Each structure stands twice: as structure tokens, then as C-alpha cells.
Amino acid sequence: MKKLTLSLLFASTVLVTTAASAAPPPNVLGNWSVLGNQTAGALVINFQAAVGICRRITGAIYGNPIEGFYCPATGRIHFLRKNAANNDTFQSWTGNVGDDAAIDRMGGTFMASTPAGGVPGEYNFQAAK
């Protein structure tokens, strides 16, 4: 019984260590398939600054401009969704990015703060590239 317990403990440690060792990708540039509060669409990140601990990003989500930052060392991402007509911010998106060597994945929450951003509140999102 003791050997079985040790074997199970070792196996679970290996699995946790393997899962936790995936590093964030160096950049988030490109086209992402996004699902925000059950609405599918595209997240396009077309600019990422070359230097800095956290690097400025710009692009578009659901056809609206975004502006924010990505931190390659931690995988943290944050951006604001803006109205294309007047540049007003109506959603704030925050999450984490990971790379499993096959697919880049992103997940987190977004907050709608004005009626233009949907019903005010906090919602989940996920994306893959």
C-alpha cells in the first residue's frame, strides 16, 4: 500500500510539474478566435512593442479597436475595447496567455461598463491561436 501511495504521489507531481512548466509565448501577434460571453468572433493583434517588461499592443476585437499591454514573462494581457467612431472605451479585458507548444491560448474576464458594451457586468472569455 505504501508503494502504491508513493507511486500515485510521484505520478501526480510529474503531471502538475509538466502542466505548470508551459511558458507564455513571446508575443501575441496574430489572429485569435475569441469567445466572449458566448459570442464568437475575431481578436486581431497587429502590433506589439519590441521592448519593455510589459509591451504595448494594438489591434481589434469584434471589429472595434483595442489598446493595451502584454507581459511576455508572466503571460498577463490587458486591453481596452473602444468605439471606432469616437474612441470611447466601453469594455476592459484582462487575462492570461499560455502556450502548450501546439496552440496559444488566452482566457480571462472582461467588464462591460457602458450600455454600448452590453449589459454592465463581468463576463468570461477564451481565445485560441
* pLDDT tens for each residue of 84-128: 999 999 999 999 999 988 899 999 999 998 777 788 999 999 999
Query: Burial, 13: exposed, middle or buried (Cβ in 10 Å; 0-12, 13-18, 19+)?
Result: exposed
Q: How many CB atoms lie under 10 A from the CB of residue 64?
A: 18
For the segment 29-87, what is each residue's pLDDT rounded down to a tens digit?
Answer: 999 999 999 999 999 999 999 999 999 999 999 999 999 999 999 999 999 999 999 99
